Chains A and B, each alone.
Chain A
Amino acid sequence: MEKRRASLRQSAAALIAGALCAAGAGACELPAGTRIESASYALSFRTQPARIAPGEHFALEYAVCPKAGAAPPGTVSADAWMPEHRHGMNYRASVVALGGGRFRAEGLLLHMPGQWEIVFQAGSERLAHRLRVE
């Protein structure tokens, strides 16, 4: 009887461990940062430096997770757009894939104060976040 109980405990533990492993393999955790979503993706990003000043170069660090059923995007580009003025940046960001769905974009510069959109392009999906620069 005791043998049977021990066997059941082992089986249960194995099942739980298996389930955890499966979840771990499929899980995609986003690091802390500003979070935005599209139909297929969730993305979080941080700026470097944390506060963006007009006329100063900055970088973006971001990570992307595909939602259930969506394939991971190949690469995710980053850009910025000023909707009110209908113009983007005068600079084209360079993006480096860091692995595991993480990316770093450099060379961004917002040349005017006002409201901007930070725009990420993941496959055919656009993820945007509005922010004000003063």
Chain B
Amino acid sequence: MIARAAIAVLALASAGAAAQVLDFSADEVRAVLRHGPWPPAFVPDPSNRVSGQSEAIELGERLFFEPRLSREGRFSCASCHVPGLAFQDGRAQGLGRTELDRNTPSLLNVRLNRWFGWDGAGDSLWAQSVRPITDRREMDSSASQVAALLREDPEYACRYRRLFGEPRDAPDQAMLVAAAKSLAAFQETLLSGRSAFDEFRDALGRGDRLAAARYPIPAQRGLRLFLGRGACTACHLGAAFTNGEFHDIGIPFFLREGGVDPGRHGGIRQLQASPLNLLARQSDDRTGAAAIKTRHVALEHRNFGEFKVPGLRNVALTAPYMHNGRIATLAQVVRHYSELDLDRLHADGEAILKPLRLSREESADLVAFLESLSERASASPRRRPIAPCRG
């Protein structure tokens, strides 16, 4: 084992005194490289036959901003997933027709999820897209309302016909699912842009220390903590910085009205009862491969109070944090893990977390690293005029 000073710094003579790269070990470099490359290649969703199709993306984009999808014509998807706010709403808890129990998640990178929603009640992006449309607390719409819009609006009727066939002949429920698949096709295009971290990661990978040295030293120290003592990569792994699964991290799950949010436990029960899950006939995947997760997911007592591990890309742009928006700033998130109250964790749960007991400087470094995951420029397509449908 190679002994190493805790914060040994290599100065780059060619880059001047300010340009430095920490002496990341070969293991650390390998660990850094596992958080990329970015952006990831597009892989169509096999359960959605219009995934990746430009006409479906256009229809989905129109529907995303369409208030007539809601019962009273007051809400569109974009009312809560605001493009200028990283496709979330900046509130602690979402606000539909009434205040909701959970934080509105960002839709950037949503296509990389295995499960959808804080509790993973959705196993596909299109099934998840149906939920807020029909939820009484949110858009409070129905299959018949959505179908009527798609049949009666000439522009929608034309687009529907080109993608799915004659709308007059289709059952309402099938039209709702088709609308959701188009919405999913649009949401699949929402990706966060490249970050300072990505530049650093790629520079490390090609051995370009000059370029790597542009990454600030506090972020580098924070990255080392993230990979090492913090053990954050146990859950925040891969290019999206999430394992896509569910954990209890000691955030209270009591609701205002006195009930409790069952989290993943309730999510699995909803999933298994859903007529829109991937085991049902609405899935376009005839191989059954997409449904392997749904077929095998296990309902355990420990799932109670577990919530999904969010990806960390653009995390500085998506405050407040946690499933109920209870934590306002990244510094407070870091303090939560630093001073973790183990009594809040399930006694029979997993033994992963322990208080990190970070110094003030270490906490600031970890925040600097998390901030470096923000995009430098949006990678999501800008809204543009869409030519009227013909045919």
Contact = CB atoms under 8 A, between A and B. Distances in A.
Interface of A: 54-55, 57, 82, 84-87, 89-94, 106-109, 111-114, 134
Given A90-B297, A92-B298, A57 B243 contact: no
Given A111-B243, A111-B245, A113-B233, A89 B298 contact: yes
B4 to A, nearest CB: 21
A113 B234 contact: yes
Interface of B: 30, 34, 114, 233-235, 237-238, 243-246, 292-293, 295-298, 300, 302, 349-352
Given A107-B292, A109-B293, A112-B235, A90 B350 contact: no
B297 A85 contact: no
Contacts of A112: 234-235, 237, 243
B292 A106 contact: yes
A104 to B, nearest CB: 13
29 contacts: A54-B238, A54-B243, A55-B237, A55-B243, A55-B244, A57-B292, A82-B350, A85-B351, A86-B350, A86-B351, A87-B351, A89-B298, A90-B245, A90-B297, A91-B298, A92-B296, A92-B298, A94-B295, A94-B296, A107-B296, A108-B296, A109-B293, A109-B296, A111-B245, A112-B237, A112-B243, A113-B233, A134-B30, A134-B34
A66 to B, nearest CB: 29
A85 B235 CA distance: 12
Contacts of B238: 54-55
Nearest to B235: A112
Nearest to A92: B298
Given A86-B350, A86-B351, A111-B244, A54 B297 contact: no
Contacts of A113: 233-234, 237
Contacts of A134: 30, 34
